[in-house]
Amino acid sequence: MSDVRIITGNEAAALAVTLCEPQVLAAYPITPQTKIAELLSEYTEKGILKAEYVRVESEHSALSVLIAASTAGARTFTATCSNGLLYMHEQLHWAAGSRLPIVMCCVNRGVGAPWSIFNDQQDAMSQRDTGWIQLYCRDNQEIIDTVIQAYRIAEEVYVPVMVCYDGFILSHTMMPVEVPKGEEVKGFLPPYRPHTFLDPERPCTINPVFFPWRRENAEGVLCDGYMEMRRKLQNGLERAKGVIAETSREYAERFGRDCGGLIWTHRTEDAEFIMTGMGSIAAETTLAADLLREEGVRAGVVGIRSYRPFPKEALAQAMGGAKLIMVLEKCLSYGYEGGVASDLKAALYGTGVDAPVVGVIAGLGGRDVRIDDMLTAARESLEGLKSGQCGNRTLWLNCHGEE
């Protein structure tokens, strides 16, 4: 029988990590991520998880510990959010540039100042160019399934993975979750094969200073320069698109649950009005789409699960019949617009999908995103399309005032 439990998103994440059997853990508590660190510390103390839990003084140190452990061949894990993730920033680049398959949960929370402990996705979005894969979860079931998949993805392409889910909305909300059996996860997740082998008999320098040009090493082998290494990381992220899709497909075959790979869809077969977004806000737009259908609007939803690598081909295909696209997102690239809206416009350019894209900034700092508000934004956008006044613009959902 299936092991179904009613648990929070943070409990789901901690259980998933335990099933994947990492050998080194390090984390620093920060709301709303703290419970993951507490549970994993408890599991290691009780011997449920046979791992080394390193207690550190900061998030920067937590990721530094995992970089060393992963380089030495250990499977690793950490979790953080908000200003803690920002404090890791330097080491995020280091982990990705070293091609280390570290898995981290980011429990999305607004970034100060002004100070907030509540949810938006500004923290993870601000780190999108560090070279990490970013996967976003709709609900607590997807958290446990995505963490397990993240290890397989990371260890196949040698790129670290950030599993993102909304603080409080998912982290502290209890939902029924089907927990896989340990032996089933072991059958799905092969042992970690490190690309660096430390041998006292053959000492080496790890991550030396790279020159702009290619050069021969002491053995006369022509080695890459800095630019070639950057290109290899980009190629790894591009290859990850296929790996993410294939991993999700095989996971669905084995466990009977499909997270959707790079994207997921809802009623898009004949949709002319498509709403899109990431995480729980995208899941809620399915209700708005259903209500718009009752009003005669051919509405559908395309949820973005993988933000990096960005699934431009899959999105162009899924949105091929759209006459209007509305992006609901919990982040903002200051001085321009929402980051997902910008990336989507760039992805659709030249594909023949020329539907206007309306960006909707919503839920910053934990503000409620109600279905009625979504419907109001959708109707306003649709009315603008009819009158020819739609264009590519940005709306602010349930927000008042100017400067």
Residue appearing with tokens 């079931």: 141
Confidence of residue 324 (pLDDT cuts 50, 70, 90): very high
Cα–Cα distance, 109 to 168 (Å, whole number): 9
Helix, strand or coil, per DSSP, at residue 181:
coil
Say if residues 268 and 300 touch (Cβ distance below 8 Å).
yes
Output DSSP code: residue 361.
Answer: E
pLDDT at residue 197, as a whole number: 77
Cβ proximity of 158 and 99 under 8 Å: yes
- Predicted pLDDT at 261: 96
What residue spans in the chain does CATH classification 3.40.50.970 cover?
Answer: 3-188
pLDDT of residue 96: 98
CA distances for 256 relative to 73, 145, 259, 317, 319, angstroms:
31, 11, 10, 25, 27
Q: What pLDDT, on a 0 to 100 scale, did the predictor assign at position 202?
A: 83
Q: Identify the pLDDT of residue 403.
A: 53
Task: Give the pLDDT score at 160.
Answer: 98
What local confidence, expressed as pLDDT, does residue 1 receive?
Answer: 52
178 class by beta-carbon count within 10 Å (0-12 exposed, 13-18 middle, 19+ buried): middle
- Give the pLDDT of residue 29: 95
Residues of the chain with pLDDT > 70, as a percent, come to 99
Question: How is residue 8 written in tokens?
Answer: 């929070």
Given a cut of 80, is residue 288 above it in pLDDT? yes
Mean pLDDT of 291-303: 98
What is the pLDDT, as a whole number, of residue 300?
98
Average pLDDT of 254-276? Answer: 96
Instruction: Provide mean pLDDT across the span 174-180.
Output: 97
pLDDT confidence bin for 149, thresholds 50/70/90: very high
CATH 3.20.20.80 fits 3-188, yes or no: no
Mean pLDDT of 314-329: 97
Structure tokens that stand for 393 in this block: 């613009």
User: Whole-number mean pLDDT of the chain?
Assistant: 95
Evaluate whether 278 touches 122 at the Cβ level (below 8 Å): no
Q: Give 187's pLDDT tier (boundaries 50, 70, 90).
A: very high
User: In the prediction, which pLDDT does 402 show?
Assistant: 64
- Tell me: pLDDT of 47 over 60: yes
**Residue type for 108, please?**
N
Per the DSSP assignment, residues forming a β-bridge with 329 are: 361
Average confidence (pLDDT) over 1-7: 86
pLDDT tens digits for range 72-131: 999 999 999 999 999 999 999 999 999 999 999 999 999 999 999 999 999 999 999 999
Q: Which residues pair with 165 in a beta bridge?
A: 107
pLDDT of the residue at 119: 97
Q: Is the pLDDT of residue 203 over 90?
A: no
Instruction: Give the pair of three-digit tokens for residue 370.
Output: 């109600």
CATH 3.40.50.920 residue ranges of the chain are: 263-396
pTM of the predicted protein model: 0.96
Q: Are 359 and 393 in contact (CB under 8 A)?
A: yes
pLDDT, average across residues 41-55: 97
Return the CATH architecture of domain 263-396.
3-Layer(aba) Sandwich (3.40)
Distance from C-alpha of 304 to C-alpha of 308, rounded to nearest angstrom: 10
Q: Look up residue 401 and give its amino acid.
A: G
Helix boundaries (H) for 180-277: 182-188, 226-255
Q: Cis peptide leading into 113, omega within 30 of 0?
A: yes
Per the model's pLDDT, the better-predicted residue between 112 and 204 turns out to be 112
